[in-house]
Structure 1
Amino acid sequence: MLGTIWINTGLALLAFVVTFGVAWVSNVWLVSLERAGVAFLLFFLAAFPIRWLFGLIAQPSEPASTAVDADGAGSAESPGSTHPTGEQVEDSDEQDSFTPLTFAQPERNPLTEDPTTVAEVIRRLSDE
């Protein structure tokens, strides 16, 4: 979770003050205080899921190849290491090099009908 409980409290206090000030203009101070208390509680509780979502978004994702076994040794083989059969194993990054995405040019379809023929047909149909 991102931040501390003080973020929740600060947000809730801000909501309390703003709600109290706005409600005091048109209500009795006791009603304004009650509404401000409800706003404090709602904003305090609403800050928890918001902080949790921000924590998930801000958390950097770790690649699976850097996972550590229970023994403390890395699970990924180092480049140039030998396989149990004795052959040389290359790094997977060299095999999966970046290739940019290329789009095929759309083919132009030749007109199946002559435009003048189409125009004559439309003229004949609109005359009827």
Structure 2
Amino acid sequence: MLGTIWINTGMGLLAFVITLCTALASNVWLVSLERAGIALVIFFLAAFPIRFVLALVTQTPAQSAEAGGQEELNAPLADGGDEANPPGQTGEQAAAEAFSPLSFTKLETIHPSEDPATVAEVVRRLTDE
């Protein structure tokens, strides 16, 4: 689950303080304290499903697919080898040899020509259409 019990406590205490301050304006302090205590318990308990849903939403699909799809990756085909691999080579060995991550050492930026004649020509074309 996302976070710790301190998140629940913090949400509960925040609800307690806000409820106490707003309830004191129109109630006696004992009623205000009772309502603030109820708000603390409700928000403390409501933080559990909120944290659970946030953990499910923020979990990337690669993490869940990695655990279940590992067996499929290692399973050889019926003819003794993978489509791209020779019969003696496993899927992991081929994946390690074939995979190379992209590396962006320097992004190439194309600067538009700022020639006044070119800019005027572009403006003319755009206003004609």
TM-score range, shorter chain: 0.5 to 0.7
Q: Which residue type is aligned with residue 12 of structure 2?
A: A
RMSD: 2.6
Measure how far apart 1:68 and its partner are.
3.4
State the identity %: 51
* 1:68 aligned to which of 62, 67, 70: 70
Q: Which residue type is aligned with residue 33 of structure 2?
A: L
Q: Determine if the alignment matches structure 1 residue 89 to structure 2 residue 83.
A: yes
Structure 1 residues 43-82: aligned runs within 5 Å: 43-62=43-62, 63=65, 67-69=69-71, 75-77=72-74
**What's the secondary structure of 1:26's corresponding residue?**
coil
**What's the secondary structure of 2:73's corresponding residue?**
coil
Instruction: Provide Cα deviations, 1:79-106, integer angstroms capped at 9, x if missing partner.
Output: xxx8553576039xxxxxxxxxxxxxxx
Instruction: Provide Cα deviations, 1:2-36, integer angstroms capped at 9, x if missing partner.
Output: 11110000000000000000001111000000000
Count how many residue pairs are aligned between Structure 1 and Structure 2.
83
8 Å Cα contact 1:66/1:76 also seen in 2: no
Structure 1 residue runs without a partner (length 5+): 70-74, 92-128
TM-score, normalised with respect to structure 1 = 0.55
* Structure 2 Cα separation of the partners of residues 48 and 37 of structure 1: 18
**If each structure's helix is expressed as a fraction of its own residues, which one has the higher value?**
2
Distance 1:87 1:52, change over 3 A: closer
Structure 2 residue runs without a partner (length 5+): 86-129
Q: Which residue of 2 aligns with 1:7?
A: 7
Measure how far apart 1:64 and its partner are.
5.7
* Structure 2 Cα separation of the partners of residues 88 and 37 of structure 1: 64
